[in-house]
Amino acid sequence: MRAAIVLLANAPIQNFIRRIVFELNTKYQVPFYASLLPAHVSLKQPFAFEDMDVLEKAFDALAARTAPFDLQLDRFYCEEWAGSGILGLNVVETPALRGLHNQLNDELSRLFKDTRAAHDGSEYHFHMTIELGKVAGANPFQAYFDGLADHQVNITYTVKELALFYYTDEANRGGTFINYRVMTLGGST
């Protein structure tokens, strides 16, 4: 079993992201993949765990003790990784965000055997993926990115929800992951 723990985007950002996904699909025939999950910023990329009850308890405790906080998205980015194109938004890192990531890694490592993730630790780059997919030939993500009049955005929102995603396989194939649980951050309404 594998899971990821993420900060959910608010409704206006969900709608902004989904409009771009729609444009990628209708203009470049990009199939839906990352957009099958709600728009989010990962605190912990997919990791292995042994007991859902233990994970739920830790997840609920994290949500309860984490106060809502502001998160800033400052620019579009596009890159290729392992044969896939990725279009996303950069998250401006803060000491509080990095601290939450590090705390989560520490706590999970004490609860489960091996919680290492492909992208993790001090080198992890916080971002909000818009969409991603395999690239064979022309890169539709790069084409969309190159067609933007401005790569800068100035979006700040207050994070109020934490989500737990569940994955059934190592390959993260479409149809093998769900938004399993959502909790409101402590003190938010």
- What does the pLDDT read at residue 170? 75
Q: Say whether pTM exceeds 0.85.
A: yes
Strands 2-8 and 40-48, how do they pair?
A: antiparallel
User: How many angstroms separate the Cα of 110 from the Cα of each of 45, 49, 107, 188?
Assistant: 17, 11, 5, 28
What length is written for the chain? 189
CATH superfamily of 2-184: Cyclic phosphodiesterase (3.90.1140.10)
- What does the pLDDT read at residue 121? 81
Q: What are the structure tokens assigned to 54, written together?
A: 């233990």
Residue in the structure block whose two tokens are 């992951």: 177
**Cα–Cα distance measured from residue 177 to residue 179, given in angstroms and rounded to the nearest whole number:** 7
- What does the pLDDT read at residue 176? 77
- What does the pLDDT read at residue 187? 60
- What does the pLDDT read at residue 122? 85
Segments in the chain below pLDDT 50: none
